[in-house]
Amino acid sequence: MKIRNIKKIMILCLLIAFTCTSLFVPPVSANGAVSAPYNWDNVKIGGGGGYVCGIVYNPTEKGLVYARTDMGGAYIRNKQTLEWEPITDWVSPDEWNLLGCESIATDPVDTNRVYIAAGTYTNSWTPMNGYILRSEDYGKTWERTELPFKFGGNMPGRSVGERLMIDPNSNNILYFAARSGKGLWKSTDYGKTWAKVSSFTNVGNYVEDPKFEYSSDNLGLCFVTFDSYKGTKGTPTKDIYVGVADKKNPLYVSHDAGETWSPVEGQPTESTFTQHNSKALKIGIPQHAVVNNKGILFVTYCDRGGPYQCDDGAIYKYDTNTGVWKDITPPSGKNWDGSPKYENYYGFSGLSVDAQNQDTLIISSLQSWWPDNFIFRSRDAGETWDAIWEHGESYPSRNLKYTMDISKAPWLTFGNKINAASGGLVKGDEIMNYPAPKLGWMMSALAINPFDSDEMMYGTGATIYGSKNLTDWDSGKLVNIEVMGTGVEETAVLSLICPPVNGVELISGVGDICGFVHKDLKTGPDMMMLSPRFTSTTGLDYAELNPETIVRVGNADKEQYEMIKKSVAISKDGGATWAEVQPNISYTFPAKTEDDIVQGGTVAVSADGSTFVWSTGTSQGVVCFENGGWKAVSTLPAGANVCSDRVNPKVFYAYANSTFYSSNDGGQTFTAVKTDLEAATSKIKAVPGKEGHVWIPGSTTGLSYTTDGGNTINEVNGVTRADVVGFGKAKAGEDYLAIYMCGEKDGLYAVYRSDDMAKSWVRVNDDQHQYGSINYSITGDLRVYGRVFVATNGRGIVYGEPNSDTPTTIIGDINEDGQVDAIDFAALKKYILNPTTLTDKQKIAADVNGDGSINSIDLAKLKSFILGIITHF
């Protein structure tokens, strides 16, 4: 019998054998591409850059603490380095919605268990329901359960919590307080299955703003908390409290372990709260609640759901032993002239009780924009309070009871200089009436370390701050507040460029905090780009033949610049300094309304830096800047994506409405070269060193390119989706730059690299490094082969570099014959039953689920792939 026939029979027998084998395979994210092993990390900005809305210490394991963000996943704090480490980077682009963390819970009994209520939006922006994620190894691996409704980790009211709670006396029981009118849910099997608590009938009724889809959802239920001190270990806690976004009945209680529920008697409601601001809404949205070991329940309230606007609020305490309520809201203090401040202007959210001394607690204002937020401390269960700052004798001075150390993220001044004498800041010669850096804003996450009364941390809209000497406050010493957000990278990144400029590794355009010139990938920059500072930088480009010339466009800070348009800036020294491009372009100058401001969009700089084309993000459309003046480009539609030829300074390209355009006069006029193309829009990008070469990614159509300025369009086989493309240094021996893509090939969305002009691709990320949404920007580095930078929506800037010690591998091809088949299944099964020697390359191929272990789960996935149940690993 011929050898090839023996092989066929062998494969057939093996297929029959393992089709009769019962192997459980949970839903997985699969990949079947050739894989090039990479090391992945964040380009460090430092401090976070986004809203940290929850910080939860484990009460029984020292040093165990988690943080949740509204759109950037969750983190665990490393006990040795005290830096944060992400635990949700495995979230795939298709499931980006899971990076919004509605709530997080750490098990006080089995401390290895952690749970996340994952889901970002409840509106039409995603069709995906929320999931309860559960881990039994501190977040290293996860299982999930889908609930039949959406979660809202980045929706109004994300400052409340925690919504997901574990019964500390019976840790198999979890409760989830849902929004959107979905009520209270309960699990009795460690989060595996869930059922609605039918006896809890108030689903909330508060809506932040019904005029807009984003804010028109019912805030629902706000938190769950247990009076565990009255309970018995091993028996479900009887007394449970649930906050409800219902100003008439904001707090409910069960005294029979969740069987029945009723409003707490005597509680404050919208008609009985003491109003501190006559212009605010009625108080009544509960934010956070804690029961101390004496049976005292503390509750913070706002007049709105938060986290952006709260104009009034309160804190009450309820003695569960006597049924007596008391308003313990801190007084508003005094004005600068010494008169009482009768009108409050902020609500309360953050709340933490000191586990070592449970009459001691701290609370925070949720949103006191001016001059700064407050933290209050009480050592007598809220009878008296001490504020962390007070107004001074004259405007704008303040008496500060703290110091601030932002050396780990110096950009947190936002370019302003501290004026320690006045408690304000100095900008030029002008004394401003707000501090830099601020204590924070959107301060809902506030926690005292249960093992160390000196340590507290709190989340803000930009970072995590904290203190290691909190109790010094009690003796009149200054509390030292410092950045404790190292490791958190939570920015939404909009644009990336990597100009070959000495001393510059990368330049980023970032949402909310402008963006940065990165001189070191592992050290955070000192400051964001200034003069002017944008709130968000939406577009970046540099002159390929004169790379120190860089232009950025973005959204102006309307308050800072008093409605004057300053949304385009230029640098002639590689980003070291910036200047406004004069004359400022505004069809109404200065702008009288926000609609008059020309801002946002994308920009393309000519190869020699003599001119640039700005496709604005507003109805004003596209403009060209040349010889110191502006000219409207009437031959391009508003919103067109633009890029410049990287060789010929006179040539620009644009794409809009399924049409490819080009310009041969420096961007002043454009001509349609190809029409009726498949992709409606495209983030086109031209190739350095190759005149006429432009790549055209399409989010629904795949990838194409032209080598003759658009006259001929070539399709790339096998790529069905391409959101963004970029270029980097060519592989040794190749004459075309390495191409990088965030897109889908053979059914798998991933980060890919091609070294042969898209004839073949290798996947360069893996299942543990997917980062959710990665469709904004990608670029290689013209100086370093293999290095790639990827912009994420909530996980900052990530970059990958080849692991030079690990060979490129086809996942599943254990015998290295170029095919994944039954012989590989047999080899893997043999290895699992009786481990044999595998090479490093074979071990990578055998670890088909990429979790670092080779076991029966890999075997099951390999079987499913060979049988066609899944199309890639």
- The DSSP 8-state label assigned to residue 227 in this structure reads -
**Which of residues 417, 450, 483 is at a domain's end?**
483
- Interatomic CA distance for residues 74 and 283, integer angstroms: 31
Determine the pLDDT at residue 563: 43
704/821 same-domain check? no
Is residue 872's pLDDT more than 80?
Answer: no
Grade residue 3 by pLDDT with cuts at 50, 70 and 90.
very low
Asked if the model's pLDDT at residue 124 lies above 60, the reply is: yes
Q: Are 656 and 640 in contact (CB under 8 A)?
A: yes
Contacts of 701 by beta carbon, 8 Å cutoff, 6+ apart: 678, 679, 721
526 located within any domain: no
Instruction: Assess whether 579 and 446 both reside in one domain.
Output: no
- Which whole number is the average pLDDT over 23-41? 59
Query: Minimal CA–CA distance to 29: which of 90, 98, 118?
Result: 90
Q: With respect to residue 767, please indicate whether it lies within any of the assigned structural domains.
A: no
For residue range 138-161, what is the model confidence (pLDDT) as tens digits?
999 999 999 999 999 999 999 999
Q: Strands 389-391 and 506-510, how do they pair? A: unpaired
Confidence of residue 850 (pLDDT cuts 50, 70, 90): confident
Neighbouring CB atoms inside 10 A of 9's CB total 10
Task: Compute the distance between CA of residue 15 and CA of residue 219 in angstroms, rounded to an integer.
Answer: 53
Residue 800 lies in a domain: no
Torsion of CA 253, 258, 262, 268, to 10 degrees: 20
The model's pLDDT over 281-301, given as tens digits with 9 standing for 90+, comes to 999 999 999 999 999 999 999
For residue 793, tell me if it sits in a domain.
Answer: no
Residue 590: asked if its preceding bond is cis (omega within 30°), the reply is: yes
Of all helices (H) and strands (E), which one includes residue 20? Answer: none
| 365/347 Cα distance (integer angstroms) | 6
Q: Is the pLDDT of residue 857 over 90?
A: no
This prediction has a pTM of 0.89
Local structure of 364: helix, strand or coil: strand
3-state secondary structure 309-342: CCCCEEEEEEECCCCEEEECCCCCCECCCCCECC
Q: What is the average per-residue pLDDT within 675-699? A: 98
Tokens matching residue 255: 């005294």
Lowest mean pLDDT among 174-188, 252-266, 737-751, 842-856: 842-856
**How many helices (H) does the chain have, and how many strands (E)?**
4, 63
Overall average pLDDT of the 760-771 stretch: 96
Q: How far apart are CA 730 and CA 16, in angstroms?
A: 46
Distance CA 363, CA 384 (A): 12
Which residue in the block uniquely carries the two structure tokens 């090391």?
A: 39
Q: What angle do CA 378, 379, 380 make, to 5 degrees?
A: 95
Task: Report pLDDT for 595.
Answer: 63
Distance CA 98, CA 698 (A): 24
Q: Taking 80 as the threshold, does the pLDDT of residue 499 lie above it?
A: yes
Non-local CB neighbours of 789 within 8 Å, separated by 6+ positions: 43, 496, 498, 506, 726, 778, 779, 780, 781, 797, 798, 799
For 792-821, the pLDDT digits (tens) are 999 999 999 999 765 567 788 888 777 888
pLDDT digits (tens, 9 = 90+) for 816-835: 777 888 888 888 888 888 77
Burial grade of 606 (CB within 10 A; 0-12, 13-18, 19 or more): buried
- The partner residues of 98 in beta bridges, in order of sequence, read none
Tell me, yes or no, whether 497 lies in a domain.
no
Question: If you write DSSP's letter for every residue of 299-310 in order, what string do you get?
Answer: EEEESSS-SS--
Q: Say if residue 755 is in the same domain as residue 829.
A: no
Residue 66's SS3 state is strand
Q: Which of 472, 512, 557, 665 is catalytic?
A: 512
More confident residue, 527 or 855: 527
Span 628-639, mean pLDDT? 92
CATH of the domain at 292: 2.130.10.10
If asked whether residues 471 and 382 sit together in one domain, one would say yes
pLDDT attached to residue 583 = 53
Would residue 70 show up in a list of annotated catalytic residues for this protein?
yes
Alpha-carbon distance of 703 to 740, in angstroms, equals 12
Question: What is the rounded end-to-end Cα distance, in angstroms, of the chain?
Answer: 35
Residue 505 counted as domain residue? no
Strand ranges inside 205-306, DSSP E? 221-226, 240-244, 251-254, 262-263, 285-291, 296-302
**Euclidean distance between CA atoms 283 and 299, whole angstroms:** 12
Distance from C-alpha of 94 to C-alpha of 73, rounded to nearest angstrom: 15
Are 350 and 363 within 8 A, CB to CB? yes
At residue 2 the predicted structure's pLDDT band, cuts being 50, 70 and 90, is: very low
What is the domain extent for residue 409? 41-483
Q: If you search the block for the tokens 């994420």, which residue do you land on? A: 792
Rounded to 5 degrees, φ, ψ at 262 are: -155, 155
Cα distance between residue 48 and residue 43, in whole Å:
12
CB atoms < 10 A from the CB of 2, how many? 7
Q: CA–CA separation, 365 vs 319, rounded Å?
A: 23
Residue 423 makes CB contacts below 8 A (sequence gap 6+) with 389, 392, 396, 397, 398, 399, 400, 435
Look at residue 468 and tell me if it is in a domain.
yes
- Count other C-beta atoms under 10 Å from residue 359's C-beta: 16
Q: What is the DSSP string of 138-192?
A: TTSS-EEEE-SS---TTSTTTTS---EEE-TTSTT-EEEE-STT--EEEESSTTS
Q: Which two tokens stand for residue 296?
A: 């005292």
β pairing state of 714-715 and 702-706: antiparallel
On whether both 752 and 828 belong to a single domain, the answer is no
Which of residues 442, 461, 483 is at a domain's end?
Answer: 483
Amino acid at 151: F
Check whether residue 188 and residue 268 sit in a common domain. yes
**Rg over CA atoms, the chain:** 29
718: left (phi over 0), alpha (psi -120 to 50) or beta: left
Query: Where are the strands (E) in 188-233, listed by range?
Result: 195-196, 221-226
CB-CB contact of 74 with 116 (8 Å): yes
Give helix 822-833 / helix 3-19 axis angle, nearest 10°. 60
Domain co-membership, 549 together with 440: no
Mean pLDDT calculated for residue range 684-705: 98
**Cα–Cα distance, 386 to 391 (Å, whole number):** 13
22: CB partners within 8 A, 6+ apart: none
Number of domains in the chain: 3
Q: What is the pLDDT of residues 574-629, one digit of tens each?
A: 999 999 886 555 544 455 566 666 789 999 999 999 999 999 988 778 999 988 88
What percentage of residues in the chain have a pLDDT greater than 90? 74
List residues bridging with 496 in a β-sheet.
508
Residue 209 in any domain: the answer is yes
Nearest to 612 by CA among 600, 623, 598: 623
Decide: 620 and 595 in contact? Cβ < 8 Å: no
DSSP state of 387: E
User: CB atoms < 10 A from the CB of 534, how many?
Assistant: 29
Task: Report DSSP state, residue 824.
Answer: H
Helix axes 822-833, 856-867, angle to 10 degrees: 170
What CATH number is given to the structural domain containing 831? 1.10.1330.10
Q: 351 and 213: one domain?
A: yes
pLDDT greater than 50 at residue 75: yes
Mean confidence (pLDDT) of the chain = 90
Q: How many Å apart are CA 745 and CA 695, to the nearest integer? A: 16
Banded pLDDT at 403 (limits 50, 70, 90): very high
Amino acid found at 503: G
Average pLDDT (660-667) is 98
Contact between 294 and 285 under an 8 Å Cβ cutoff? The reply is no
Asked whether residue 589 falls in the same domain as residue 681, the answer is yes
In the three-class reduction of DSSP (H, G, I as helix; E, B as strand; rest coil), residue 783 is classed as coil
- 472 & 611 share domain: no
Q: Which residue has the higher pLDDT, 556 or 478?
A: 478
Show Cβ contacts of residue 263 under 8 Å, excluding neighbours closer than 6 positions: 249, 251, 252, 253
Q: What residues does 754 pair with on adjacent strands?
A: 739
Lowest mean pLDDT among 247-261, 564-578, 584-598, 754-768: 584-598
Helices (H), 683-806: none
State the residue for tokens 């591998």: 809
Q: What is the largest CA-CA distance in the chain?
A: 104
Q: Is the pLDDT of residue 12 over 70?
A: no
Q: Is 455 found in the same domain as 583?
A: no
The answer to whether 66 touches 106, Cβ cutoff 8 Å, is yes
Residue spans of beta strands (DSSP E) within 396-533: 398-400, 402-405, 417-419, 424-427, 430-432, 446-448, 456-459, 464-467, 479-483, 493-497, 506-510, 515-518
Range with the poorest average pLDDT among 74-88, 292-306, 344-358, 591-605: 591-605
pLDDT above 50 (res 16): no
> Which of 762, 796, 825 is the last residue before a domain boundary?
762
- Average pLDDT rounded to a whole number, residues 368-396: 90
Q: Interior CA angle at 303 toward 298 and 306, to 5°?
A: 90
N residues, the chain: 873
Asked if residue 50 and residue 69 are part of one domain, the reply reads: yes
